Amino acid sequence: MDPLVRLDGASLGYGGRALIDGVSVAVEPGDFLAVVGPNGGGKTTLLRTLLGLLAPVRGRRSAVSPLAVGYVPQRDHVDPLWPLTAGDVVSMGRVPGAGPFRALRGDDREAARRALGRVGLGDLWSRPFRTLSGGQRQRTLIARALAAGPRLLALDEPTNGMDPGAELSAMDLLRELHGGGGIAVVMISHRLEAVANYARRLAFVDKDQGLWEVGTLDEMLRPAELSRLYGRDVVVREEGGRRLVYPRAEARSP
Amino acid sequence: MSALSEFLSASAIWRDPLLASILAGGLLGFLGVYVVLRRVVFVSAALTQLSTLGVIVSLLVLEVLDLETEHQEIQLLVAWVFSVGGGLVLGAAGRGRRLPAESGVGMAYVLAGALAVLGANRLVHVAHDLNTMVFGNAVAVPFQDVVILVVVTAVVALLHTLFQKEIVFSSFDRETAEAMGVRVRLFGGVLFFTIGLAIPVAAHVVGALPVFAFLTVPASAALLATNGLQPAFAVATALGAIAAGAGYVGSWTLQLPTGATMVAVAGALVLPAWAWRRMRG
């Protein structure tokens, strides 16, 4: 299967200055890749390079063309000042496909309505976006990405700032959407425990440590790999069918 | 004869200025919705200053070359270069690593203002009617200015009709629009091109202060009074036109300065909008 997008021996960075070297990764149809690392570790740089918004400083990026991308930003990056309904926001997902010189048509609105229904908010179409709860806003932004009919769904810290219940709910939704239609998902997060039960593959990135590793969940959730990422011992155990990941408590001196 | 009947009997004098003022108010009211929602209110102030600087520069060059300074089309052309150029640069400026975008806007505002004062100080021949040349005179607007304003309004309306969905998406959520393939620089450029296009011609008709006011106040009132983006555009356009028209008539009948009266009327329109918002919760 041809990958949707791949980086080969890429150095990632800005203005000709490489922050992370030796990045090779391919995202295939149906993939679910979670990119984990500390804040400021280079996750967004990697995502922007994968999406073609940033050219690799060295190495090569290739992608199928055209590649329909659905993008979900952190919800606090979206300005609540705008007097838009949830339906208006989701309809924006149809803008790239519609092309210039014409307004959105009835079929675009219909596709947007279906997308909002897929995330369970079909009855909030006319509700002002700014009056939605944090979780509802995030789902609306996911619906906007889905409305584009994407082959690749890219999410930037989609559960950032959510309470545990809302985080689980958002991740369950992503699993459902991913399982349903062969969409590839690339998601970045600084919380490993948020993605450890959902992703198929994991990548660790931290520019300060010069760290770049990618592999299957089983390969990456080994204590040795995790200790490299976090710089301390990490425990991985299963409970009730879910993986729990947490740092081992430091031994206290008597 | 009452002031109003005196006003009505002088329609030949006020017809063109009133029409130009209403057009300018409506045009700037519409664009102001983007200005307010994109939180770039002071970009419009800086562009007005740059437009003024453009007029001063054109007058200086004409004087140095010993050419007629009556050619308003040359002044407008240079003002457009400054205003559109400034709009494209300031509109494209993102968050810097060392300085916020606002510092660039602030520097453009004060430097353009200072250079305009210095330039005006060196003008010799046109010093007596400099104020009219630079800040316009809503009381006496030639028909030619109305035509220019109609053409500019038509260009702005056309561009915003063709590209509204892209301009709205790029303005509301630049990051996502870019990631999903919308050419955000291009459509941000279209928006600031239209703002830069409107400012000099509107400033020439109604003056610098009303331009800044019409880019801010009607949109603010509309955003308070309405709940949707399209209604906000419609109400802001209407409020801009009403404020300009009522301000013009009020200044004539009450013998008040025109630009300041327009701004005061625009400001007065915010109060009912705010009250309406409070009543609706």
Query: Which residues touch A152 (CB under 8 Å, ≥6 apart)?
Result: A4, A5, A27, A67, A68, A69, A70, A183, A184, A185, A186
| pLDDT tens per residue, range A11-69 | 999 888 999 999 999 999 999 999 998 888 899 999 999 999 999 999 999 999 889 99
Bin A120: left if φ > 0, else alpha if -120 < ψ < 50, else beta. left
pLDDT cut 90: percent of chain A above it: 54
Q: What is the ipTM of this complex?
A: 0.88
pLDDT of residue B127: 63
pLDDT band at A177 (very low <50, low <70, confident <90, very high): confident
pLDDT in tens, chain B (281 residues): 577 787 778 777 888 899 999 999 999 999 999 999 999 999 989 999 999 999 899 888 888 887 776 677 888 899 999 999 999 998 877 655 677 778 889 999 999 999 998 998 888 776 666 666 555 566 677 888 899 999 999 999 999 999 999 999 999 999 999 999 999 999 999 999 999 999 999 998 888 889 999 999 999 999 999 999 999 999 999 999 999 999 999 998 898 988 899 999 999 999 999 998 888 77
A79 touches chain B (CB under 8 A): yes
**In whole angstroms, what is the distance from residue B182 CA to residue B217 CA?**
30
Express each pLDDT in A72-126 by its tens digit.
998 778 898 999 999 999 999 999 999 878 889 999 999 999 999 999 999 999 9
pLDDT of res. B192:
95
- Structure confidence at residue B159 (pLDDT): 97
pTM: 0.89
Task: Find the closest chain A residue to B220 by CA distance.
Answer: A81
Average pLDDT over residues A223-232: 78
Contact present, A150 and A70 (Cβ < 8 Å): yes
Q: What is the pLDDT of residue A186?
A: 95
CB distance A36 to A229 below 8 Å? yes
Helix axes B184-206, B258-280, angle to 10 degrees: 130
pLDDT for B69: 65
Buried b (16+ CB within 10 A) or exposed e, A13-22: beeeebbbbe
Quick one: pLDDT at residue B19?
A: 94
CA distance A34 to A77: 20
Structure tokens at B40: 């770039």
Q: Which residues of chain B have a CB within 8 Å of the CB of A14?
A: none
CA distance A121 to A130: 15
B169/A95 Cβ within 8 A: yes
The CA distance from B22 to B25, in Å, is 5
- Cβ atoms within 10 A of the Cβ of A31, count? 22
Distance from CA of B41 to the nearest CA of A (A): 14
* Interface test mutation site (partner A, options B178, B180, B227, max chain A beta carbons within 10 A): B180
Quick check: B201 and B148 in contact, CB under 8 A?
A: yes
Which pLDDT score, from 0 to 100, does residue B100 have? 79
CA distance linking residue A182 with residue A187, whole number of Å: 16
- Are B181 and A98 within 8 A, CB to CB? no
Q: List residues of B whose CB lies inside 8 A of any A CB.
A: 37, 39, 162-166, 168-169, 172-173, 175-182, 223, 226-229, 231-232
